[in-house]
């Protein structure tokens, strides 16, 4: 069934941002302690579930991890993604390889993607004076449609049902303050909702629900696929905070770093009750939310984590 899709709302940007920051800290995944148990029906070849976490530009470190799967000839049976993890997950589930996704990133982080370049200038990763399109009236600061059009061009499938790998996309219901799992119907509206960072991108309405960034409720959604796999892999791309001496955070740094603090708190709490079989957190530092133009630095910093993932997958699958 196709979703009813729109981005308009009656929320002013100031009210939306204020309300989101006040309530975001209490958002958490519904049924956190009651995640399903892994299936007991073991097959000769284990089913791998892959969770791709949220984290802005640091989420590009998902790509070297996908390249590890390709190198080992492994294909996840199911993927769950939140925010940037939903974007990368949609590309991979559509049939693109990790290397092909890396090439796409190189394209939109280079001179050929003028729409995206407006999101990555300035020390904080955001320079308002350089924005081509603002979206303040819709509850956000930046219009994401240019990027979404670029993404749609690379995802050939329109619906979840057409993907080569099942995908669960995480968003948050703004009014009900609860997790929403999108796994059927149109892909692009779901991805747009999952990446709707509060205060930056406008919320998205799907089936009469006003949705915002999935990272506000479940930044690393491995619990959603635990029952669907034999080996559960979680990639945490929240990055590592780096303090700059003699410099106080500006408005955008304060906003986005506070958002990251909330996400890490949610994941830490969940891991007290549910642990993935393989947990990987690339040691990526010095990258702000919208620094997609620093992809090569991100890939370089993520390389040791990719090797760690490769070793752990080989140990679990080929050496056990």
How many Å separate Cα 52 from the centre of its chain?
6
The pLDDT score that the predictor gives to residue 81 is 98
| Across 189-196, average pLDDT | 94
Q: What's the pLDDT tens digit per position in 309-319?
A: 999 999 998 76
The pLDDT score that the predictor gives to residue 40 is 38
The pLDDT score that the predictor gives to residue 67 is 98
- Is residue 146 pLDDT above 60, yes or no? yes
The pLDDT score that the predictor gives to residue 202 is 86
The pLDDT score that the predictor gives to residue 143 is 54
More confident residue, 131 or 54: 54
Kindly indicate the confidence band of residue 235, based on its pLDDT and cuts at 50, 70 and 90: very high
Task: For the chain, give the mean pLDDT.
Answer: 78
The pLDDT score that the predictor gives to residue 57 is 85
The pLDDT score that the predictor gives to residue 246 is 54
- Is residue 125 pLDDT above 90, yes or no? no
More confident residue, 242 or 161: 161
Tell me which range, 124-128, 139-143, 246-250, is most confidently predicted by mean pLDDT. 246-250
- Is residue 247 pLDDT above 50, yes or no? yes
Axis-axis angle for helices 145-154, 98-108 (nearest 10): 150
The pLDDT score that the predictor gives to residue 277 is 97
| Across 83-99, average pLDDT | 95
More confident residue, 112 or 159: 159
More confident residue, 125 or 69: 69
| Cβ atoms 269, 33 nearer than 8 A | no
Full-model pTM = 0.78
Of 1, 3, 5, 21, whose CA–CA distance to 13 is shortest? 21
Percent of the chain residues past pLDDT 70, beyond the cut: 68
């Amino acid at each position: 069934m196709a979703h009813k899709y729109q981005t308009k709302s009656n929320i002013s940007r100031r009210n939306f941002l204020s309300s989101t920051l006040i309530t975001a800290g209490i958002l958490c995944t519904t049924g956190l302690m009651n995640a399903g148990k892994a299936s007991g029906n073991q097959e000769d070849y284990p089913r791998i579930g892959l969770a791709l976490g949220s984290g802005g530009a640091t989420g590009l470190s998902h790509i070297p991890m996908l390249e590890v799967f390709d190198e080992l000839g492994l294909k996840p049976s199911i993927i769950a993604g939140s925010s940037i993890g939903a974007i990368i997950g949609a590309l991979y589930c559509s049939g693109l390889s990790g290397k092909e996704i890396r090439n796409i990133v190189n394209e939109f982080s280079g001179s050929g993607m003028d729409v995206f370049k407006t999101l990555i200038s300035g020390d904080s990763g955001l320079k308002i004076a350089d924005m081509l399109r603002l979206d303040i009236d819709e509850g956000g600061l930046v219009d994401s449609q240019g990027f979404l059009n670029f993404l749609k061009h690379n995802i050939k499938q329109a619906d979840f049902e057409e993907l080569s790998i099942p995908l669960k996309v995480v968003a948050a219901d703004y009014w009900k303050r609860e997790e929403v799992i999108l796994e059927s119907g149109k892909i692009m509206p779901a991805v747009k909702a999952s990446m709707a960072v509060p205060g930056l991108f406008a919320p998205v309405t799907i089936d009469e629900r006003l949705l915002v960034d999935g990272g506000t409720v479940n930044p690393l959604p491995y619990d959603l696929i635990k029952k669907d796999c034999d080996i559960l892999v979680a990639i945490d791309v929240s990055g590592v905070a780096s303090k700059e001496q003699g410099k106080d955070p500006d408005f955008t740094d304060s906003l986005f770093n506070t958002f990251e603090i909330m996400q890490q708190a949610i994941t830490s709490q969940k891991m007290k009750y549910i642990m993935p079989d393989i947990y990987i957190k690339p040691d990526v530092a010095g990258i702000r939310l919208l620094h997609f133009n620093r992809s090569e630095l991100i890939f370089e910093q993520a390389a040791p984590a990719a090797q760690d993932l490769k070793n752990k997958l080989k140990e679990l699958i080929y050496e056990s």
